[in-house]
A and B are shown apart, each in its own frame.
Chain A
Amino acid sequence: MKVIKIDKKEWTGGIDKSREKYLLFGPVKDKDVTNKEHYIFKKLAAGEFPVMEGVDTVLSPKSVIFPQTEKILKSSLDQSQPDHHIMKRVENDYSSRAVIGIRSFDAKALTLVNLNFDTKDYQDPYWCDAYKATTFVGLAVNKPSDVDFSTSMGSGPFGEEGLDVLLVDNGEEFLAKVITDKGKTFLDAAGFNKTADESAVKKIEDLKAQAEKTIADKAKVGTDNLKNKTVLDLYEAPFWDDIAFSCINCGTCTFVCPTCWCFDIQDETKGKSCTRFKNWDSCMFPLFTLHGSGHNPRGVKTQRVRQRFMHKLKYFLDKYDKGTMCVGCGRCVQSCPVNIDIREVCNIMNNYEPKK
């Protein structure tokens, strides 16, 4: 596999050059009116550069492909128009874009969401068009955060799945591992084309081993038994009430999660026009499953908490045989206001033996 060497002094110049062909997205620092600072993934304005220091973002970059609110269809309500009330697809910009500085677990997460939105029978055009238009330029995580448990969940700090390029921070330079042709095209557009010497591959392997060890030293999350458990044993297990006790049923865990894909459809009208939106939804909200009849099959919070963990750690695994639907990014662990920790829940599920 080819490795390109990018001198950090040439970084901004190359990024600027790539803007001729790509819309860029990346993590940037945001400061609100009360001076609180966060890193968020957003479209980069001219002159704006992604922060490449391996920062944690509260929200995952999934919104680049799957925005929290997305206009999908529109129609006219003006009865004098021949096409009134006929929904038509909104014209969105799907020109080439690149996400710079995305982490390996987030890129992997998007491949899992892709399984849901791009199937043999159905293709969600909004997702598919955006996903295909995007080049993912990842940044390996040299110093994993305390809540990163990605190595337990089929990803890792240097994982390559879902990425087109993996950048590795090596002091004065980035070593760019070219993973796909799409990735090569991006690097060419940025003018990054100096092949690194032999030692680069070894260097990357060393940094990778170090980072993986940091995670392995603290995160012990077992997933090996999940596959062989029966769905109903887990579903009926006695531990769900205790896990759910502190949950306040907010949308935090699912909104920050890079793999949660659920959405709601809403129509809004203004004057004589109607717009149909796709909004993120969450199985933690009671409204998520409320039927028109008033019946709610997941009417109490334990059922909703169970749904989230069962979906991530069992249903998905059984349906796709592609591991868990959690990549171990740790965002929900960090942001859940009542410290419901998926690492603990995963271990409880993985170790559960029903009483016969």
Chain B
Amino acid sequence: MDSLTQKIREIASNILKEGRVDMVIGFAKGTIPMTTKPYMARTPEQVENFIWDKNCTLNLANYITGRKEKIGIIAKGCDSRNIVNHIVENKISRDQLYIIGVPCSGMADKHNPDELRDNCATCTHRNPVIFDVMAAEPVEEQKIDDPFADVKAVEAMDKDAKWSYFEGLLQNCIRCYACRNACPLCYCPTCFVDESGPQWVGKGQNKTDIQTFHFLRAFHCAGRCTDCGACEAACPMDIHVRAFTRKLNKDSLELFGWEAGLDITKRPPLDTFNPDDPNDFIK
């Protein structure tokens, strides 16, 4: 058995036995190749179902939103950053959590097992930023010369090319909302697309409505998105929804020097006021 898997099971079993937590949330093996399933263990016996491999692509912070129990949670770099977001946004409190940090060497692309998935290839926070215990020694962080080369390529397109690129990105979307529901940031009790009084967005396959959903959702994630890739891992139609959130991640970094989910004492930039704001209109 993989040593990380073993260590995770050991820690999980201990904290359950010691009564430190009511449950531990991690990943279990999937029923088809290259899949895993978010799994909750409530007893030391159940921890035997935990595994750790290259297919732990979802973000487990999504499973702690608003929970009241004491929770052990297995967190790779991006999950840990979304846990930070959750603490900052009052979706869970720090002392409810026992965070088992897992240094991550990147998850596999869902169609090419030998390649890293797109977001992992440019990740610079592979080590958990918050944890109670680490399941292994930290890994070396990647040095990426130009982490936003893809966004720059889109920025460089002229207006028409950009628009047709966006239209092309979304042409196969079936509005199943797996991207939104897999995202730990999307915890609104009623999403704006589901609101019926008033109804902001049409519900059919009209392309303007589909685009409205995606553009607005991306803006709702501005300054909060950790580029964990759960949205794309979940999408049955392989839609590159991160094309939108990454533009806003780049803007957050350039305008505010901000990367989401690194520090539980700081609020996201669109949630704060700063007298040194680079924009004139705010003064």
Contacts and interface: CB of A to CB of B under 8 A. Distances in A.
Given A58-B236, A344-B31, A246 B204 contact: no
B30 interface: yes
B178 A33 contact: no
B122 interface: no
Contact of A334 (B32, B169, B196, B233): B32
B3 to A, nearest CB: 24
A340 interface: yes
B202 interface: yes
Interface in B222-255: 233-240
Nearest to B194: A287
Contacts of B275: none
Interface in B156-188: 165, 168-169, 171-172, 174-178, 180-182
Contacts of B180: 250
B36 interface: yes
B256 interface: no
B38 A246 contact: yes
B6 to A, nearest CB: 22
Given A256-B236, A339-B31, A250 B169 contact: no
A10 B202 CA distance: 46
In this complex, the member of A33, A58, A255, A256 whose beta carbon has the largest number of chain B beta carbons within 10 angstroms is A33
B267 interface: no
Contact of B169 (A34, A251, A277, A341): A34
Contact of A268 (B171, B181, B202): B202
The main secondary structure of chain B at its interface with chain A is loop
B74 to A, nearest CB: 14
A340 B58 CA distance: 14
A95 B62 CA distance: 48
B238 A250 contact: no
B174 A59 contact: yes
Interface in A330-347: 333-335, 337-341, 343-344
B205 A69 contact: yes
Interface in A135-183: 146-147
A250 B176 contact: yes
B233 A38 contact: no
Interface in A54-80: 58-59, 68-69
Nearest to B169: A33
A287 B32 CA distance: 30
Interface in B185-214: 194, 196, 202-206
B40 interface: yes
B31 A333 contact: yes
A252 B236 contact: yes
B258 interface: no
A256 B31 CA distance: 18
B178 A252 contact: yes
Given A32-B169, A277-B204, A279-B203, A249 B181 contact: yes
In this complex, the member of A30, A248, A268, A340 whose beta carbon has the largest number of chain B beta carbons within 10 angstroms is A248
Contact of A251 (B32, B35, B40, B177): B177
Taking residues whose C-beta sits less than 8 angstroms from the other chain, chain A's interface range is 35 or more
Given A32-B168, A250-B182, A338 B194 contact: no
A76 to B, nearest CB: 20
A188 interface: no
A264 interface: yes
B181 A250 contact: yes
In this complex, the member of B32, B63, B180 whose beta carbon has the largest number of chain A beta carbons within 10 angstroms is B32
Contacts of A248: 62, 178, 181-182, 234
A185 interface: no
A339 B36 contact: yes
Interface in A277-324: 277, 279, 282, 285-287
A69 B168 contact: no
Given A33-B165, A246-B37, A333-B31, A338 B58 contact: yes
A147 B236 contact: no
Contacts of A277: 203-204
A312 B232 CA distance: 28
Given A246-B39, A277-B204, A338-B37, A32 B178 contact: no
A355 interface: no
B124 to A, nearest CB: 23
Contacts of B39: 245-246
Interface string A230-247: 000000000000000110
Given A248-B178, A337-B178, A69 B31 contact: no
B102 to A, nearest CB: 18
Given A33-B168, A34-B240, A58-B237, A251 B176 contact: yes
Contact of B203 (A250, A266, A334, A341): A266
Contacts of A202: none
10 closest cross-chain pairs (CB), A and B: A33-B168, A337-B234, A69-B204, A250-B178, A251-B176, A248-B181, A69-B205, A335-B236, A339-B37, A339-B30
26 contacts: A30-B172, A32-B171, A32-B238, A33-B169, A34-B240, A36-B238, A38-B237, A58-B236, A58-B237, A246-B37, A248-B178, A248-B182, A249-B181, A250-B180, A250-B182, A268-B204, A277-B203, A279-B203, A279-B204, A279-B205, A285-B194, A287-B194, A337-B233, A337-B234, A337-B235, A338-B37
Interface of A: 30, 32-34, 36, 38, 40, 58-59, 68-69, 146-147, 245-246, 248-252, 255-256, 264, 266, 268, 277, 279, 282, 285-287, 333-335, 337-341, 343-344
Interface of B: 30-33, 35-40, 58, 62-63, 165, 168-169, 171-172, 174-178, 180-182, 194, 196, 202-206, 233-240
Given A38-B237, A250-B181, A268-B204, 13 more contacts: A32-B171, A34-B240, A38-B172, A58-B237, A69-B205, A250-B182, A252-B234, A277-B203, A285-B194, A333-B32, A338-B37, A339-B31, A340-B37
